[in-house]
């Protein structure tokens, strides 16, 4: 043979079948001559390894030899040689040894490899015939850690050959996620051409329908997968069915299983989930049961949203191997899918327990924990992910987000940059970097990233928001020219949206020339400028502290300063509002108005409606507890407190609810339950002196009772407070509910009327109307507030915002100018100047806008957040971008 | 392997067997060399042979080194079979693998292995040691067993001391090899009385010499397997103790240790077994006839020359780089392929196939930096022994030759890899 021919042959690798046949020959010769055989099979994916093992095992079975599988794990590793020695009696056994690919087992694998170096003679003496299934990394380790053993290798076979292997890789891969198939590397690896099919191969030579052979079946399988790769699913099924027919004819169950698997895969990828499920059922019918099949079935059922079946499939897999991490991960995905996040977390943790190196459950776990706002735990999980996979962009990005939320902006920037370097090419990463840089005061970097984000962003809406933010950043550094240019760009993007997306609806808010951002802003600002007792953001993690919120949103005249007036007036207006409200948060706000004026029954009515709309909100139950306590309906109050203790997210609040429960039990002279409630409260908040004192007192009471004394509880105060007096994250909003003591419980007149001569009430009502987009009613309410108190600056400002939405820009400008003069503090004035600047900008009066902004910035000497860069906006934008 | 028939293969199946990588070439009982044994160019082992047979004042200790796969084990076995050696020495050849854990090896393990193996081998051959020595040894056993109950060989009667000691040494060896915890305790016991163990070895040695009229010669194979650090701890830090036994000993040592600076002082007691040189320094195309003939003989003793084309044989030899194990590997792989394609002879294409397979194996374990180093070395054939080169020598990616000046070249299968 000439050199060219040699080169040609040596450049074309063995076919998959060649390799299997070659391994068989090696093993047969070793058996014949009573010699050991150390073969290394190097693989790149578990699925292909599985396929190669199955195929090889089928061949070995045909020659009446037995394959003994040995998986290296932490428990059995030490006993490997004893294990081999025990079985070495049967010289026809062939050992397949592999590791289970976990972090721990990687260590065990390393240990095993080191041991192999010293125990090579042991294997030789026992004439062991073994195939070591090694990952590429493990093969490298063998060469370097066990050079003697490496030198003793008889043959090395690579099972990563793309031409012959990829159909099997796909057939056998455990993950049916379509993304895998879409992955370019896999697609590229599937480049089976017609020429490939024509290469002289044992497949072609042996193929005959009359005489089914392993190679013939494989050829048909390969053809099927090649067709499938080209998107010809129907054409793919035909050869696969033919392969199946051949396999059935041959009676070889391994081949039948392989064919069914391939068919299942093609069906799965072509969206025929039911057919894929059916094919996998066939595999299960042929048996033996396999964890992989159950896992695949579970995934298919999950895809078909057949949660019960999916659950059963994964449970079957777990039954076969309770330590299978893939099954636990699948189970976790089901629970996550149906919203049972706690159970999902348990499953992911199980998956991790059994394979700490399996990254998928770590990612799911981290995401679920982040979703639950358990940021510390989520951060830990993300950190583990980047330990395992330093290039995991998602994890780095999430780490950045968590640090951002924790206000660790430098670390946040570091993590985001890592994600950026690693290839996160989305505009979001630049946005997030811009936010983080802004917060850490690095405006130059923030500007650069904003410019990049604007360049990359396709959504005009986003472009407008980003340009707006860019303008704000320029303002921060006093670059008003660029700021105006950015604002102009923002307005230009906004106008594109309004032009292109203008709905045909005649609803008032849609007819105005305002961007959605402005609406959002209005809603946030309007709500913040009001006094509310209940937190509207109970469902989201509010990161800003009370001081910041105070800075951002000037609170209107505190209502509690008005005293607990017994107001008498018609409430029809509010009742109408209530009837039309379908938002729990707004109902809570409405209840607060009622509470402020002592209209307890009406507050209860609003809150009861809120409970129906948001039954998982513990704070509503808590407030209801307070109200029923006020109404002296103590058993009801206890029930609500208990519910709130169950539903409230943090332990301090739970303790508070339980403490109040204890107070009420005590009032009812149910000392035993009171003791239980106080004990539970102390358990949750062991440093709370009030609760400790209460616990001490109830114990004294009990002692007194046991001693035959009489307990006087009439004058014992009930330690009730509005929930928000305690809750630090809600301290920003003023406390409205009157602190209740046992002395005033029951003193409230249920038929109490609201005094609509209180301008605060009207201002608050205006906010509720505005937020529910009832702008006309809002205008009336604000006007009423102004008429009652012409010096009420915030009502002018809020009315201006509503006018803005109504397109009455001139009126709005006048109102804001008026409002500025009525504000008492520089901070408040700065906020109004800022609003005025925004409005002037909106109407294209840029020079005036600059002056307004400059006034705002001048007054805002502490650089508090008054514009679009303020904290809450960032939180909102942030949440939006990262969600 | 004592029942292995060293017969020349007339077909591929048998040829496959004869090119087994781990085929030990034990000498014949009559002292004749193994049928597959071939003399190397320059007869380097003759040097060690002569050194052992030279008159000595203190029992000689030699260090025997060579690169992996160059035939050290074969040469030790051959040395043991040499009639002159057998006439002057009572030889014991064993692999340290059988007696200790080579990934955690200590000088105490080796000393215990020397004593234990000498004792057991002498008794296995029917030798009878003096009762007093047995009593002394039993005392040593008692001291060890006091601390390590797990190595107890069981209660024995006085008349069975010898058997009890057999069991004790075998048991201690097994524990040292397989049980890290017990190994540690045994080492502590020995540490407290290293001299006592040396005395035991020397007593056994003296008793054997007295009975047999020949000094025991201990040939310890595979001592080149521990890493350099462990090897230095044994042969440099504890060199004096390792020299104290009064029997003759040939320790195998790794090429890394052989070339370390600290080894300079005892290099005169060391012999390095070179690879067979196939071309001259700096001239890869100038084949060395002697080398090719040696490798050709290696093949022809194991396989009918008619089973391989002449050109294919030359190519196989070239690809072997003059390393016997690599020659066996290439032949075996090529034979396997020729057999599968039902060929009558091994052809160039089969050899090329084998070379490609080996090349692919290296492709997996060598990184870019390795390849850069190999490229430089291939261009100049200059050996600069350092930490970066050591693993390459260990993996046989780099092969060392000696003719006058030491020089080296890359494994011939890698040439294509370097210039891809």
Same domain, B139 and B190: yes
Q: What is the pLDDT of residue A512?
A: 25
**Out of A209-218, A742-751, B317-326, B380-389, least confident range:** A742-751
Q: Are B274 and B66 in contact (CB under 8 A)?
A: yes
CA distances in angstroms from A117 to B205, B223, B225, B336, listed in the order given: 31, 13, 8, 26
Q: In this structure, are B324 and B248 located in the same domain?
A: no
CA distance to partner chain B, nearest, from residue A179 (Å): 29
**B242 and B296 fall within a common domain:** no
- The closest CB to that of A9, out of B353, B361, B394, belongs to B353
C-alpha to C-alpha distance for A653 and A727, rounded to whole angstroms: 7
Dist CA A365 CA A350 (whole Å) = 11
Secondary structure letter of residue B401 according to DSSP: E
Mean pLDDT (whole number) for A430-434: 89
pLDDT digits (tens, 9 = 90+) for A251-280: 777 677 778 888 888 888 778 888 888 888
Q: Do B16 and A29 touch (CB under 8 A)?
A: yes
Minimal C-alpha gap between B381 and chain A (Å): 23
Q: CB A148 to CB B68 under 8 A? A: yes
- B290 and B257 in a common domain: no
pLDDT for A167 beyond 60: no
The answer to whether the Cβ–Cβ distance between B97 and A21 falls below 8 Å is no
**Distance (Å, whole) CA B408 – CA B389:** 11
Q: How far apart are CA A152 and CA A278, in angstroms?
A: 47
* The predicted structure's pLDDT at residue A740: 29
Domain-embedded: residue B13: no
CA distances to A255, A285, A312, A601, A745 from A281, rounded to whole Å, are 16, 6, 13, 61, 67
SS3 content of chain B, % helix, strand, coil (to 5): 55, 15, 30
Q: What is the pLDDT of residue A533?
A: 28
Q: Which residue of A has its CA nearest to B348?
A: A1
Which range marks the domain in which residue B261 is found?
42-273
Report if residue B22 sits inside a domain.
no
Q: How confident is the model at residue A9 (pLDDT cuts 50, 70, 90)?
A: very low
In a domain, B375, yes or no: yes
Rounded Cα gap, residues B417 and A59, in angstroms: 34
Is the dihedral angle over the CA atoms B337, B341, B346, B347 positive or is it negative?
Answer: negative
* A376 Cβ contact list (under 8 Å, min separation 6): none
- Greater pLDDT, A336 or A491: A336
Residue B240 lies in a domain: yes
Name the token pair of A377: 């735990």
A139 touches chain B (CB under 8 A): yes
Give me the residue spans of the domains in chain A.
14-160, 164-288, 508-532+757-882, 564-730
Which ranges constitute the DSSP H helices of A287-324?
291-303, 307-320
Residues B261 and B284 in one domain: no
Q: By three-state DSSP, how is residue A135 classified?
A: strand
Residues B265 and B295 in one domain: no
- A291-350: per-residue pLDDT in tens? 778 888 888 898 888 888 898 889 888 887 788 888 899 999 989 888 888 889 999 988
Length of chain B as a residue count: 420
Together in a domain, B119 and B150: yes
**DSSP character at residue B190:** H
Other C-beta atoms closer than 10 Å to the C-beta of A616 total 11
Q: Is residue B317 part of a domain?
A: yes
CB contact under 8 A, B360 and A158: yes
* Same domain as B179, residue B70: yes
Check whether A694 has a pLDDT greater than 70. Answer: yes
**Inter-chain contact B333–A115, Cβ cutoff 8 Å?**
no
Query: Does domain A508-532+757-882 correspond to CATH entry 1.25.40.10?
Result: yes
Report the pLDDT value the prediction gives residue A567, as an integer from 0 to 100.
35
Domain end point (choices B216, B242, B273): B273
Q: Which residues of chain B have pLDDT under 70?
A: 1-2, 147-164, 173-174, 176-178, 385-386, 403-404, 420
Instruction: List the structure tokens of A391.
Output: 């290039």
Which ranges of B69-160 would DSSP assign to H, the alpha helix? 72-81, 83-88, 107-124, 131-147
Residue B108: CA count within 13 A, CB half-sphere: 19
Q: Compare A404 and A118 and report the one with higher pLDDT.
A: A404
3-state secondary structure at position A821:
helix
The shortest CB-CB distance from A117 to any of B95, B225, B339 is to: B225
Same fold, A164-288 and A564-730: yes
Number of domains within chain B: 2
Q: What is the predicted pLDDT for the residue at A577?
A: 59
* Cα angle: A664, vertex A666, A668; to 5 degrees: 75
* Length in residues, chain A: 883
What are A772-785's pLDDT values in tens digits?
Answer: 677 888 898 888 88
A184 pLDDT higher than 70:
no
pLDDT of res. B37: 92
DSSP B34: P
Say what the pLDDT of residue A575 is.
61
A14-160 CATH, one of 3.40.50.300, 3.90.1150.10, 3.40.50.720, 3.40.1710.10: 3.40.50.300
What dotted CATH number matches A564-730? 1.25.40.10
Instruction: Output the six-digit token pair for A253.
Output: 């169950």
Q: How far apart are CA A690 and CA A682, in angstroms?
A: 10
Residue from B309, B316, B307, B330 nearest B12 by CA: B307
Domain endpoint, select from B273, B303, B319 = B273
- Which one of B73, B96, B103 makes the best mutation probe of the A interface by having the most chain A beta carbons within 10 Å? B103
What is the spatial distance between Cα A168 and Cα A173, in angstroms, rounded to a whole number? 8
Same domain, B230 and B346: no
- Please say which residue of B235, B250, B273 terminates a domain: B273
CA-CA-CA-CA torsion sign (B294, B296, B300, B303): positive
C-beta separation of A157 from A52 below 8 A? no
Q: Which of A26, A117, A118 sits opposite B336 (nearest CB)?
A: A26
| Contact state of A156 with B21 under an 8 Å Cβ cutoff | no
Residue A522 has pLDDT above 60, yes or no: no
CB-nearest partner of A147 from B95, B336, B394: B394
Residues B266 and B327 in one domain: no
Q: Mean of the pLDDT values across residues A396-415? A: 87
Residue B337 forms part of a structural domain: yes
B257 and B184 assigned to the same domain: yes
Task: Report how far residue A387's alpha carbon sits from residue A171's, in angstroms, rounded to the nearest whole number.
Answer: 31
Q: For the ranges A11-25, A295-309, A842-856, which has the lowest average pLDDT?
A: A11-25
Residue for token digits 């007339």?
B10
Span A850-857, average pLDDT? 84
| Mean pLDDT over each residue of chain A, to the nearest integer | 71
For A164-288, CATH gives 1.25.40
A574 falls in which pLDDT band (50, 70, 90)? low
Q: Decide: residue B404, CB within 10 A, 0-12 exposed, 13-18 middle, 19+ buried.
A: exposed
Is B98 in Cβ contact with A148 (below 8 Å)? no
Q: Give how far A189 is from chain B: nearest CA, Å.
A: 19
More confidently predicted of A543 and A400: A400
- Digit-coded pLDDT (tens) for A134-158: 888 888 888 888 887 888 889 998 8
From chain B, pick out residues whose CB is under 8 angstroms from the CB of A26: 336
The answer to whether A160 faces chain B, any CB pair under 8 Å, is no
The answer to whether residue B10 is domain-embedded is: no
User: Is A427's pLDDT higher than 90?
Assistant: no
Residue A288: is the preceding peptide bond cis (ω within 30°)? yes
Do B266 and B314 belong together in one domain?
Answer: no
Please list every residue in chain B whose beta carbon sits closer than 8 Å to the beta carbon of residue A6. 348-349, 352
Query: What does the alpha-carbon distance between residue A205 and residue A28 come to, in Å, rounded to a whole number?
Result: 23
Q: Does residue A339 come out as left (phi exceeding 0), alpha (psi in the -120 to 50 range) or beta?
A: left
Q: What is the pLDDT of residues A53-99, one digit of tens each?
A: 888 888 887 777 888 887 766 544 445 556 656 656 666 788 888 87
Which residues of B have a CB under 8 Å from any CB of A? 13, 16-17, 20-22, 68-69, 95, 97-98, 101-103, 225, 325, 332-333, 336, 339-340, 347-349, 352-353, 355-357, 360-361, 364-365, 391, 394-396
DSSP, collapsed to helix, strand or coil, labels residue A643 as helix
């Amino acid at each position: 043979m000439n050199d060219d021919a040699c080169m040609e042959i040596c450049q074309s690798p063995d076919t998959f079948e060649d390799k299997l046949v070659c391994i068989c020959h090696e093993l047969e010769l070793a058996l014949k001559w009573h010699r050991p055989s150390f073969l290394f099979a190097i693989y790149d994916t578990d699925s292909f390894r599985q396929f190669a093992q199955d195929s090889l095992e089928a061949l070995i079975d045909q020659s009446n030899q037995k394959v003994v599988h040995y998986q290296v794990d932490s428990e059995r590793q030490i006993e490997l040689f004893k294990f081999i020695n025990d079985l070495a009696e049967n010289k026809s056994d062939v050992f397949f040894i592999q590791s289970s690919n976990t972090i721990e087992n990687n260590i065990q694998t390393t240990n095993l490899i080191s041991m192999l170096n010293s125990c090579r003679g042991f294997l030789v003496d026992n004439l062991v015939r073994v195939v070591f299934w090694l990952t590429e990394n493990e093969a490298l380790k063998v060469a370097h850690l066990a050079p003697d053993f490496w030198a003793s290798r008889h043959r090395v076979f690579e099972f990563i050959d793309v031409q012959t292997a990829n159909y099997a890789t796909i057939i056998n891969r455990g993950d049916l996620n379509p993304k895998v198939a879409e992955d370019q590397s896999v697609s590229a690896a599937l480049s089976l051409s017609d020429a490939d099919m024509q290469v002289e191969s044992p497949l072609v030579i042996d193929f005959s329908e009359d005489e089914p052979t392993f190679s013939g079946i494989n050829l048909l399988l390969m053809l099927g997968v090649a067709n499938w790769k080209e998107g010809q699913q129907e054409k793919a099924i035909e050869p696969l069915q033919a392969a199946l027919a051949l396999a059935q004819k041959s009676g070889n169950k391994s081949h039948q299983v392989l064919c069914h698997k391939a068919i299942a895969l093609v069906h799965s990828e072509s969206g025929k989930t039911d057919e894929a499920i059916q094919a996998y059922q066939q595999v299960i019918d042929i048996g033996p049961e396999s964890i992989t099949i159950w896992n695949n079935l579970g995934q298919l059922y999950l895809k078909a949203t057949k949660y019960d079946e999916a659950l059963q499939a994964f449970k079957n897999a777990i039954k076969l191997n309770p330590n299978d991490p893939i099954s636990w991960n699948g189970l976790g995905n089901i629970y996550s899918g149906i919203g049972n996040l706690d159970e999902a977390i348990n499953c992911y943790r199980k998956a991790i327990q059994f394979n700490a190196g399996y990254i998928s459950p770590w990612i799911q776990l981290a995401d679920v924990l982040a979703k639950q706002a358990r940021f510390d735990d989520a951060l830990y999980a993300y950190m583990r992910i980047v330990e395992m996979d330093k290039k995991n962009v998602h994890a780095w990005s999430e780490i950045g987000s968590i640090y951002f939320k924790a206000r660790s902006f430098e670390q946040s920037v570091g993590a985001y940059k890592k994600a950026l370097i690693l290839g996160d090419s989305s505009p979001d990463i630049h946005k997030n970097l811009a936010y983080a840089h802004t917060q850490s005061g690095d405006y130059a970097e923030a500007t650069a990233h904003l410019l990049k984000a604007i360049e990359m962003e396709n959504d005009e809406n986003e472009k407008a928001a980003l340009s707006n933010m860019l303008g704000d950043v320029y303002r921060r550094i006093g670059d008003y020219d660029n700021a105006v240019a950015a604002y102009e760009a923002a307005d230009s993007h906004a106008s594109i949206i309004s032009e292109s997306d203008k709905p045909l609806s005649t609803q008032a808010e849609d007819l105005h020339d305002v961007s959605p951002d402005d609406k959002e802003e209005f809603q946030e600002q309007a709500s913040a400028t009001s006094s509310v007792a209940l937190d509207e953001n109970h469902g989201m993690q509010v990161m800003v502290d009370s001081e910041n919120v105070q800075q951002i949103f000037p609170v209107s005249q505190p209502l509690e300063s008005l005293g607990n007036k017994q107001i008498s007036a018609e409430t029809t207006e509010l009742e109408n509002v209530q009837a039309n409200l379908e938002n729990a948060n707004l109902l809570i706000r409405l209840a607060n108005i009622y509470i402020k004026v002592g209209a307890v029954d009406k507050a209860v009515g609003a809150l009861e409606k809120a409970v129906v709309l948001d039954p998982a909100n513990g704070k509503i139950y808590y407030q209801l507890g307070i109200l029923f306590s006020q109404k002296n309906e103590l058993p009801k109050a206890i029930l609500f407190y208990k519910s709130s203790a169950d539903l409230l997210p943090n332990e301090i609040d739970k303790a508070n609810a339980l403490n109040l429960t204890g107070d009420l039990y005590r009032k009812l002279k149910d000392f035993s339950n009171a003791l239980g409630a106080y004990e539970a409260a102390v358990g949750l908040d062991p440093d709370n002196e009030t609760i400790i004192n209460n616990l001490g007192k109830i114990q004294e009471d009990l002692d007194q009772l046991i001693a035959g004394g009489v307990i006087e509880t009439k004058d014992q105060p009930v330690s009730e407070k509005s929930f928000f007096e305690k809750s630090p994250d809600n301290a920003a909003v003023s406390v409205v509910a009157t602190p209740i003591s046992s002395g005033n419980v029951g003193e409230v007149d249920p038929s109490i009327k609201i005094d609509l001569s209180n301008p605060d009430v009207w201002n608050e009502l205006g906010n509720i109307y505005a937020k529910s987009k009832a702008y006309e009613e809002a205008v009336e309410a604000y006007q009423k507030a102004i008429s009652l108190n012409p010096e009420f600056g915030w009502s002018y400002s809020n009315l201006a915002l509503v006018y803005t939405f109504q397109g009455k820009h001139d009126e709005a400008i006048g109102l804001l100018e008026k409002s500025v003069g009525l504000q008492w503090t520089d901070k408040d004035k700065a906020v109004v100047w800022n609003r005025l600047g925004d409005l002037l900008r909106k109407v294209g009066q840029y020079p005036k806008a600059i002056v307004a902004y400059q006034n705002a910035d001048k007054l805002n000497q502490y650089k508090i957040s008054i514009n679009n860069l303020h904290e809450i906006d960032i939180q909102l934008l942030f949440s939006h971008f990262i969600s | 392997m004592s029942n292995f028939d060293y017969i020349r293969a007339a077909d591929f199946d048998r040829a496959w067997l004869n090119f087994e990588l781990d085929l030990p070439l034990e000498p014949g009982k009559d002292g004749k060399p193994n049928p597959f044994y071939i003399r190397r160019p320059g007869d380097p082992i003759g040097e060690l042979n002569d050194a052992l047979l030279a008159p000595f004042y203190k029992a000689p200790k030699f260090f025997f080194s060579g690169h992996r796969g160059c035939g050290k084990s074969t040469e030790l076995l051959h040395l043991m079979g040499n009639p002159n050696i057998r006439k002057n020495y009572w030889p014991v050849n064993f692999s340290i693998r059988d007696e200790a854990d080579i990934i955690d090896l200590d000088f105490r393990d080796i000393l215990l292995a020397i004593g234990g193996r000498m004792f057991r081998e002498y008794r296995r051959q029917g030798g009878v040691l003096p009762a007093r020595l047995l009593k002394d040894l039993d005392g040593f056993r008692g001291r060890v067993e006091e601390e390590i109950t797990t190595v107890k060989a069981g209660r024995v009667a006085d008349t069975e001391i010898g058997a009890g000691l057999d069991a004790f040494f075998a048991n201690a060896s097994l524990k040292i090899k397989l049980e890290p915890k017990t190994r540690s305790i045994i080492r502590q016991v020995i540490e407290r009385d290293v001299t006592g163990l040396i005395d035991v070895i020397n007593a056994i040695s003296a008793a054997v010499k007295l009975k047999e009229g020949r000094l025991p010669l201990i040939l310890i194979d595979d001592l080149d397997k521990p890493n350099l650090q462990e090897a230095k701890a044994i042969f440099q830090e504890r060199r004096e103790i390792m020299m104290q036994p009064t029997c003759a000993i040939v320790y195998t040592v790794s090429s890394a240790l052989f070339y370390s600076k600290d080894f300079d002082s005892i290099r005169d007691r060391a012999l390095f077994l070179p690879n067979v040189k196939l071309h001259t320094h700096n001239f890869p195309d100038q084949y060395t006839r002697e080398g090719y003939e040696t490798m050709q003989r290696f093949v022809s003793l194991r396989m009918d020359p008619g089973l391989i084309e002449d050109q294919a044989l030359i190519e196989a030899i070239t690809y072997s780089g003059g390393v016997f194990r690599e020659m066996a590997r290439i032949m075996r792989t090529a034979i396997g392929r020729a057999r599968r394609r039902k060929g009558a002879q091994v052809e160039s294409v089969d050899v090329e196939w084998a070379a490609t397979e080996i090349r692919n194996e290296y492709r997996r374990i060598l990184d870019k930096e390795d390849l850069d180093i190999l490229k430089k070395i291939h261009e100049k054939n200059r050996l600069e022994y350092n930490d970066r080169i050591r693993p390459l020598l260990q993996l046989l990616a780099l092969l060392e030759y000696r003719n006058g000046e030491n020089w080296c070249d890359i494994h011939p299968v890698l040439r294509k890899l370097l210039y891809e």
